[in-house]
Structure 1
């Protein structure tokens, strides 16, 4: 940002005059592009740019927040006044601290300058080709639900009066397509996506083929009798469930009695086969960063190791309350938000067996390929879940027929303890506040409600 150092100095001087100490400036800017195609025409185009600056500082020993979208000198008085009012009027149960920083941070490069040089016409042609390719692969593909390309970049600066001065820059591109297959009266859908920060890695033929094959493979799907079945949770479905339960690892949720993991630190919470990793340095990890939203250095950690819960995820506030160091997992969804907690690149450590080998070992059961109702159908406090699902019936180690109109139910910790084997096919979902992945996992059994 132009003249940022000058603006920063003026803010610090004004705050000092009024009696604000330990002041932090959090600046962010970004751009997001989204292009949607329908029947060879651009059906949606959105280019959004954002910029904002937030202050966090202590006034009379109480932490106050303020923010503005107008990033210039005219906002200084507004920011300072709002911070003081916020500190006076908002009661905070726990103390927050401003971090002084460390001497060295690990270098993490999550920005690819070549992505910023891709012409818009190339992006439009890509998403048009993706739609066209999907429609011509198989005559049973009758329509396209969604065909989207998007990309964006973000830049963050964290600076404070204790000497901290950090900058982070990242970008990524993504694409996804949803297709509809029809055979007789049977209608099924398929979905595929790709995330990268290298435009050259986007192959519309590969992505279209994956979505089409998924939809075609579901044709003829039927329900099955209710009962307890051995389960393989395919990688994408497993990562969706882990993402939905990600909040249980937050120390803030634990301290507020809103997590089923409360009181389980250093206890066995899963099969010895499972190790859950949080890796902020992962290559091609789209939540990678050398520091968190408070400027605390990040580090790779095993949240669960061989089934034992090693740690919760902490920011400075929750760490202070528990008398430990922060794990470097402070997060802000935007400059407008307060400090929260989230994982970075979190995933179940892959095993060494292919999906095919998991099927052969299970012999008979159900492979779950898709789960729905993740917000309404699970409880992060009890761990109970009941989710609509689709998949395949497995017999003699092979796919026999597609399955739909079923509901799987169980408890997250029970499921974790019932993991028998873990596959080698680690896959991540679309990134949000975190980037969460899983290989396929073989589970002793889950309750399945069908016919």
Structure 2
């Protein structure tokens, strides 16, 4: 434990030592920072380097919960936060499930979440990485111009302690680069512009693959030039890894224990049912060091762990924090989420991924006679209902004809239901891609999708 993390833990410990008879107290203390760099035409267009620290305190008494926080670690402010949390208890509604997380005997998985090379990385080098990425993305195709190139990193230290026996602390950092491109073709009324993007993640900048990020940003934009509206029909779709990650993000909301206990999930009361194709095994595993969002403990201080949510197509479990688990009559899966000291724990997947198959996207496409490679989906959150499962979103991509990728298409929708899509999964690709989000991507083949175009 670093000296600074130890100091945070000492603050949390002192707070819970002040608990009165009949009170449960949790103290969450954190500090962190982030850097954001945006480059345009070789010059720094936007630069932010920000830090914050603070404490959040929960007090539970007689089934009522009070919470308060402050963006400072001044001793007088901490005393005021504790007093405010106690005062706020009286305004809380009695909840029979209100309680703090309790130790469950699961030990955190040792992980290298902190990288000294990133912590010591000079600011001018961060700017240089964004400039390098912009230059590379501009060099791939004369039709491509870079809208923006970005470098971002973040670090955090946190400690939590509670009267229920939780006591955990740690620190982590990470970084990524991204680039947005525009591809232009034609003149006058025939002129068109398509967009693309690319990115690379790492624990430190030396792990970036700038060339790959630049190439993908260029190819994503140029491949859609000349796109037309396709004819309406049912097709087999191949989701690009990034689109698959977005799709899994939607699926994760249906496997959220809080949504389930409130009856807001299409999988309520379906544990043990076959809900997906037999080739589908869906795992939330924040202990995987390759995951960008890997972690050792969840937002309540319980050990993060590998949870198999769907195994060989059968729904095995939902993700829970301690509160949703009590409501569901089960135990926490170590999936408490917390955005920082200013909020109380929520629940959600931490690092979701399908167990990958073995074939590349090119090998998969070669076996499809009439299909669609989906490279973009728009309106996922507005076009998908996680309760009914209705799915209808705008999309763009490339037609697949006789095993080859062909004409670009856009201005159409793809539609089905989440229930049907999971059961109609034909294959999971082996091209797993770890993205700067809570879901990993890989090519995903889904049959019987309605493509509504011309």
State TM-score, norm by structure 2.
0.94
Cα distance in 2 for residues equivalent to 1:20 and 1:80: 15
Q: In structure 1, what is the equivalent of residue 246 of structure 2?
A: 240
Residues 34 and 149 in structure 1, CA contact (< 8 A), matched pair in contact too = yes
User: 1:1-400, aligned counterparts within 5 Å?
Assistant: 1=4, 3-4=7-8, 7-8=11-12, 10-16=14-20, 19=21, 21-101=23-103, 104-141=107-144, 143-184=145-186, 185-400=191-406
Which ranges of structure 2 fall in alignment gaps of 5 or more residues?
A: none
Greater mean deviation of Cα atoms: 227-236 or 98-107: 98-107
Cα displacement string for residues 151-180 of structure 1 (whole angstroms, at most 9, x for unaligned residues): 111111111234432112111111111111
Cα displacement string for residues 242-283 of structure 1 (whole angstroms, at most 9, x for unaligned residues): 113321111110111111111111101111110100112101
Offset at residue 135 of structure 1 (A)? 1.8
Cα displacement string for residues 355-407 of structure 1 (whole angstroms, at most 9, x for unaligned residues): 12211222221111111111211111111121111111111100121111111
Which ranges of structure 1 fall in alignment gaps of 5 or more residues?
A: none
**Mapped pair 1:410 → 2:412:** no
Residues 63 and 97 in structure 2, CA contact (< 8 A), matched pair in contact too = no
Offset at residue 105 of structure 1 (A)? 3.0
Cα displacement string for residues 327-376 of structure 1 (whole angstroms, at most 9, x for unaligned residues): 11111122111221011111111111221221122222111111111121
Structure 1 SS opposite 2:26: strand
Cα displacement string for residues 180-239 of structure 1 (whole angstroms, at most 9, x for unaligned residues): 111211321211011111211223333212211222222221111111112111221111
Query: Cα distance 1:278–1:212, how it changes in 2: closer, same or farther (>3 A)?
Result: same
Query: Cα distance 1:26–1:413, how it changes in 2: closer, same or farther (>3 A)?
Result: same
* C-alpha RMSD of the superposition: 1.8
Residues 109 and 296 in structure 2, CA contact (< 8 A), matched pair in contact too = yes
Offset at residue 54 of structure 1 (A)? 0.9
User: 1:429-440, aligned counterparts within 5 Å?
Assistant: 429-431=435-437, 435-440=438-443
Structure 2 SS opposite 1:63: strand
The total of aligned residue pairs comes to: 445
Greater mean deviation of Cα atoms: 32-41 or 194-203: 194-203
Offset at residue 324 of structure 1 (A)? 1.7
Offset at residue 149 of structure 1 (A)? 0.6
Offset at residue 326 of structure 1 (A)? 1.0
Cα distance in 2 for residues equivalent to 1:210 and 1:354: 16
Residues 349 and 438 in structure 1, CA contact (< 8 A), matched pair in contact too = no
Offset at residue 24 of structure 1 (A)? 1.3
